[in-house]
Structure formats: structure tokens, C-alpha cells
Amino acid sequence: MKNVSYKKLWHLLIDKGMNKSDLRRATGISSSTLALIVSDETVTVEVLLKICSALDCDFADIMEVTKGSKTIQKTKFME
């Protein structure tokens, strides 16, 4: 089974000096949508496009498809 990981998004936000609240404000996404992203759940292409537009990047810069069971690794940013 393949899963999605947004680990690249968290690294990109750190590189840009942004946090999750900044991302929400820049994109207009809801807190529930952000919670899905934090949990490595799938979101709509529209949401991904909003993020890419706000961060001036491409899908590959914010997400990747992973193999195997879904495990969430807590990073310092997620705490």
C-alpha cells in the first residue's frame, strides 16, 4: 500500500521561516485540512495547488508517495 508524506512541506516551511499558522493564513485552508496534512492524510489537488502557489513551489517540493504502513514521525516542527 502506498501513502503520502508531507515531510518535505514541513522542511520547506522551516526553510522559509514559516509555521503552520502562517501556512493557513497564506493559503486560506481550514484547520481541519491542515490537521489532515499533519496526519499525512490525502487532501484535494485544490489544496495542494493553494500551498504550491503560496510557497512558489511544485507538488514534489511538498509531498512524496511512500510505501508500506503509515507511521507518523514527530518532528520538532510538529510538536
In a domain, 59, yes or no: yes
Domain of 46, in residue numbers: 2-68
Burial of 51 (0-12, 13-18, 19+ CB in 10 A): buried
In a domain, 29, yes or no: yes
Q: How far apart are CA 75 and CA 53, in angstroms?
A: 24
Give the chain's domain count: 1
In a domain, 42, yes or no: yes
Q: Cβ(45)–Cβ(11) under 8 Å?
A: no
Q: Quick one: pLDDT at residue 2? A: 85
Q: What is the pLDDT of residues 6-19, one digit of tens each?
A: 999 999 999 999 99
Q: Please name the residue that has the C-alpha cell 511512500.
A: 66
In a domain, 33, yes or no: yes
Average pLDDT of the residues of the chain = 90
In a domain, 73, yes or no: no
Q: What is the pLDDT of residues 36-55, one digit of tens each?
A: 999 999 999 999 999 999 99
| CATH number, position 17 | 1.10.260.40
